[in-house]
Amino acid sequence: MADFDKFYGEDTNSFYYPEPSSVLEKYIGLVSGKNLEALDLGCGDGRNAIFAAKKKFHVLCYDLSQNAIEKIDKLAQKENLKIIATVEDVKKLAFEDNKFDLIIASTILDHLDRKDSLTLILNIKRWLRMNGFVYIGVFTVDDPAYKNKHGLLLDIEKKLISETGDFIRTFFQKNELRELFSDFKEIFYYEGMKEDLSHGNPHFHGLARIFCQKIC
């Protein structure tokens, strides 16, 4: 994980992804109640954790990158945000069942081996309280990094790959994320290609995003 650490450490005054995930931004208002608790898994340098904290959530967030967690800590102190950011492997986390009102897993399940990714999904389902919400984003088999791994890209198309494309371990199949959450109430689902101008050279991702609610 030292490689992501390098990206987050390059410019300590700017953020790797400057904006929160747009789907989270649009639907976070659905999460209601008092003393709301959120969990951000593989939080990076905190775009979503910081956004949730500014929406008055108490946030726990975890990432392997020391640089990323230090950045979040610095900002949380400066802006007096309720975020506890910790350097930890998401595979080692343990919480009581029904704890969180909101769980965020933005481009982390695809950075784990498939077995670990599926185990984390089961944990997410347990850690969420009834009627709690989850936001998940993953890269799919449409991603240029997947196609390149399988020799399906022309040389001229290789500039479409993210500079962190090599870190992706599990590319989700078409509709897979949606099916994995078919026991939840779907609020939003999108699957397709998207341009990414937030870091490195302009590139594309094949992605799936879901915002859904625990109902059983």
Ligand X SMILES: C[S@@+](CC[C@H](N)C(=O)[O-])C[C@H]1O[C@@H](n2cnc3c(N)ncnc32)[C@H](O)[C@@H]1O
- Which residues lie near ligand X (CB under 6 A)? 1, 4, 17, 42-44, 47-48, 62-65, 68, 89-91, 106-108, 111-112
User: DSSP letter at 173?
Assistant: P
Q: CA geometry: angle at 199 spanning 198 and 203, to 5°?
A: 85
Complex with ligand X: residue 23 or 180, whichever CB lies closer: 23
CB of 20 to ligand X, least distance (A): 9
CB of 2 to ligand X, least distance (A): 9
CB of 67 to ligand X, least distance (A): 9
Complex with ligand X: residue 162 or 213, whichever CB lies closer: 162
Complex with ligand X: residue 26 or 131, whichever CB lies closer: 26
What contacts 98, CB < 8 A, 6 or more positions away?
126, 127, 128, 129, 130, 132
In contact, 134 and 103? CB cutoff 8 Å:
yes
Complex with ligand X: residue 93 or 131, whichever CB lies closer: 93
Q: How far apart (Å, rounded) are the C-alpha atoms in residues 22 and 16? A: 16
CB of 79 to ligand X, least distance (A): 18
Q: Torsions phi, psi of 154, nearest 5?
A: -75, 155
Hey, which bits of 140-216 come out as E strands? 184-196, 203-214
Q: In this chain, which residue has its C-beta nearest to ligand X?
A: 44
